Structure 1
Amino acid sequence: MRKPGSVKSLEELGRVRLSPNFFMRDFLYSEIASFHGIPNIPGFPDRAIEAGTQLCEQLLEPLQARFGRISIRSAYRSPAVNQFGNEHGLNCASNEANYGGHIWDYADARTGATGATACIIVNSFVPYYERTGDWQALAWWVHDHLPYSEAEFFPKLAAFNLNWSSQPVRAIYSNVGKGRSCLTKPGMENWPGQHASEYAEWLAAGEG
Structure 2
Amino acid sequence: MTEERPEASTNAIQQRFYVVSPTKFVTLFVGTLGVYSIYWFYKHWDLYRLRSGGTQWPVMRGLFPIFFAHALFSIFSREYNEKFNTTRYNFTHYATIFVGVSVCSYFFNQLSVNEIGRPFSDLFSFVALPIITWVLYHMQLVVNGICGDLQGDSNNQFSFLNYSCLLLGGLGWVIVVFGLIESFQA
TM-score in terms of structure 1 length: 0.24
Q: Which has the higher helix share?
A: 2
Q: Which has the higher strand share?
A: 1
TM-score in terms of structure 2 length: 0.26
Instruction: Between the two structures, name the one with larger relative contact order (CA 8 Å, sep ≥ 6).
Output: 2
